[in-house]
Structure 1
Amino acid sequence: MTLRERIKNEMMVIKALGVVYGDIGTSPIYTFAVILLLLDPTKQTIFEILSMILWTLTMLVTVQYAWLATSLSRRGEGGTVVLVQLLLPYLKGARLTALVTALGYVGISLMIGDGVITPAISILSAVEGINLIPGYEETSRMTLLLIAALIAFALFMVQKKGVENVATAFGPIMVVWFFSLGIVGGYFILQNTEVLHALSPLYALSFIQEHPYISFVILADVLLCATGGEALYADMGHLGRLPILKGWLFASLALILCYYGQGAFLLSHPESVKSPFFEMFHVFAPSLYIPLVILAIFATVIASQAMISGIFSVLYQAMTTRIFPHFNVNYTSNELRSQIYVGSVNWFLFICVVLMLFDFQESAKLASAYGLSVSGAMSITGILISMIFLFKKEYFKMSIAIITGLMSIIFFLSSWLKIPHGGYWSLIIASIPLFIILLYTKGQKKLYKALIPVDKDEFLEEYSKRYRYANHVNGTALFFARQANAIPAYIAKTMFQNGIIYDYNIIVIIKTSHEPHGITSHLSPLGEALDLLIIQPGYMEQLDVEKLLIERHINERTIFYGDEEIISDNIFWKMYAMIKELSPSFVSFYNFPHEKLIGVARRAKI
Structure 2
Amino acid sequence: MLTDKRVHKLSAAGLLISLGIIYGDIGTSPLYVFKAIIGNRLITSELVLGSLSCIFWTLTLQTTVKYILITLQADNKGEGGIFSLYSLVRRKGKWLVIPAMIGGAALLADGIITPTITVSSAIEGLEIKYQGLPTIPVVLIIITGIFFIQQYGTSIVGKTFGPVMWLWFTMLAILGLTFIIRAPEVFKAINPYYAYHLLTTSPEALIILGGVFLCTTGAEALYSDLGHCGRSNIRISWIYVKTCLLLNYFGQGIWLMTQEGTRLNDKNPFYHLMPDWFLYYGIGVATLAAIIASQALISGSFTLIAEAVRLNLWPKVRINYPTIQKGQLYVPSMNLILWLGCITVIFLFRRSTYMEAAYGLSITIAMLMTTILVSIYLRLKKVPGYLVVLFLLTYGLIELTFFIGNLAKIFHGGWFALTVGCVLFFIMWSWSKGRKIKNKYVRFVDLENYYSIIRELSSDISVPKYASQLVYLTSAKFSSELESTIIYSILQKQPKRADVYWLVHVDVLDQPYGRHYKVIPLISGKLIRIDFKLGFRIEQRISHLFRLVVQELVKSKEVDIISQYQSLRKHHIIGDFRFVVLQKVLSRSNTLSIMERFIVACYNTLKHFSLSEEKGFGLDLSFVTVEKVPLIVSKTEEVNLIRL
Question: Do the structures match in fold with TM over 0.5?
Answer: yes
| Offset of residue 154 of structure 1 | 0.6
2:132 partner letter: E
**1:478-517, aligned counterparts within 5 Å?**
478-485=471-478, 486-497=481-492, 498-517=494-513
Q: Does 1:415 align with 2:406?
A: yes
2:53 aligns with: 51
| Offset of residue 151 of structure 1 | 0.8
2:383 aligns with: 394
**1:458-497, aligned counterparts within 5 Å?**
458-460=449-451, 462-467=453-458, 469=460, 475-485=468-478, 486-497=481-492
Equivalent residue in structure 1 for 2:361, among 358, 372, 378: 372
2:344 aligns with: 355
| Offset of residue 574 of structure 1 | 3.7
2:608 aligns with: 581
User: 2:368, 2:399 within 8 Å by CA — same for their partners in 1?
Assistant: yes
Equivalent residue in structure 1 for 2:204, among 186, 201, 214: 214
2:629 aligns with: 602
Deviates further, 326-335 or 73-82: 326-335
| Offset of residue 40 of structure 1 | 3.4
2:15 aligns with: 13
Q: Unaligned regions of 5+ residues in structure 1, if any?
A: 92-96
CA distance in 1, matches of 2:53, 2:549: 59
2:244 partner letter: A
User: 2:53, 2:195 within 8 Å by CA — same for their partners in 1?
Assistant: yes
Specify whether residues 242 and 543 from structure 1 end up closer, same or farther in structure 2 by C-alpha distance, changes over 3 A only: farther
Specify whether residues 187 and 82 from structure 1 end up closer, same or farther in structure 2 by C-alpha distance, changes over 3 A only: same
User: 1:39, 1:45 within 8 Å by CA — same for their partners in 2?
Assistant: no
**1:253-292, aligned counterparts within 5 Å?**
253-270=243-260, 273=264, 274-282=266-274, 285-292=275-282
Q: Per residue, is there more helix in 1 or in 2?
A: 1
User: 1:237, 1:313 within 8 Å by CA — same for their partners in 2?
Assistant: no
CA distance in 2, matches of 1:308, 1:597: 34
| Offset of residue 77 of structure 1 | 1.1
1:482 partner letter: S
| Offset of residue 473 of structure 1 | 5.9
1:182 partner letter: A
2:577 aligns with: 557
**1:14-93, aligned counterparts within 5 Å?**
14-37=16-39, 39-89=41-91, 91=92
Rg larger in 1 or in 2?
2
Specify whether residues 605 and 423 from structure 1 end up closer, same or farther in structure 2 by C-alpha distance, changes over 3 A only: farther
Equivalent residue in structure 1 for 2:188, among 186, 194, 197: 197
Percent identity between matched residues is 27
Equivalent residue in structure 1 for 2:221, among 231, 244, 268: 231
CA distance in 2, matches of 1:603, 1:146: 54
CA distance in 2, matches of 1:53, 1:34: 12
Specify whether residues 514 and 571 from structure 1 end up closer, same or farther in structure 2 by C-alpha distance, changes over 3 A only: closer
| Offset of residue 132 of structure 1 | 0.2
**Deviation sequence 1:525-558 (CA, Å, 0-9, x none):** 2234212211111111224432364145257722
CA distance in 2, matches of 1:238, 1:319: 20
Q: Unaligned regions of 5+ residues in structure 2, if any?
A: 554-560, 562-575, 589-593, 634-644
CA distance in 2, matches of 1:183, 1:76: 34
User: 2:42, 2:263 within 8 Å by CA — same for their partners in 1?
Assistant: no
Specify whether residues 464 and 158 from structure 1 end up closer, same or farther in structure 2 by C-alpha distance, changes over 3 A only: same
| Offset of residue 39 of structure 1 | 4.3
User: 1:16, 1:167 within 8 Å by CA — same for their partners in 2?
Assistant: no
User: 1:560, 1:598 within 8 Å by CA — same for their partners in 2?
Assistant: yes
**1:432-471, aligned counterparts within 5 Å?**
432-449=423-440, 451-460=442-451, 462-467=453-458, 469=460
2:310 partner letter: T
1:100 aligns with: 96
CA distance in 1, matches of 2:419, 2:293: 22
Specify whether residues 138 and 217 from structure 1 end up closer, same or farther in structure 2 by C-alpha distance, changes over 3 A only: closer
| Offset of residue 278 of structure 1 | 3.8
User: 1:329, 1:343 within 8 Å by CA — same for their partners in 2?
Assistant: yes
CA distance in 2, matches of 1:355, 1:474: 52
| Offset of residue 249 of structure 1 | 2.4
1:94 aligns with: none
Report how many aligned residue pairs link the two structures: 590
Determine helix, strand or coil for the equivalent of 2:394: helix
Name the TM-score, length of structure 1 as normaliser.
0.90
1:348 partner letter: I
CA distance in 2, matches of 1:306, 1:467: 54
1:547 aligns with: 545
| Offset of residue 400 of structure 1 | 3.8
User: 1:48, 1:204 within 8 Å by CA — same for their partners in 2?
Assistant: yes
**1:231-250, aligned counterparts within 5 Å?**
231-250=221-240
Specify whether residues 605 and 260 from structure 1 end up closer, same or farther in structure 2 by C-alpha distance, changes over 3 A only: farther
CA distance in 1, matches of 2:476, 2:22: 39
Equivalent residue in structure 1 for 2:132, among 129, 135, 138: 138
Deviates further, 213-222 or 307-316: 213-222
2:257 partner letter: L
**Deviation sequence 1:481-514 (CA, Å, 0-9, x none):** 1114542344223321222232222211101111
**Deviation sequence 1:107-136 (CA, Å, 0-9, x none):** 111111111111121111112111101xx1
| Offset of residue 8 of structure 1 | 11
**Deviation sequence 1:388-407 (CA, Å, 0-9, x none):** 11232223863345423331
1:281 partner letter: L
2:483 partner letter: P
Specify whether residues 567 and 251 from structure 1 end up closer, same or farther in structure 2 by C-alpha distance, changes over 3 A only: farther
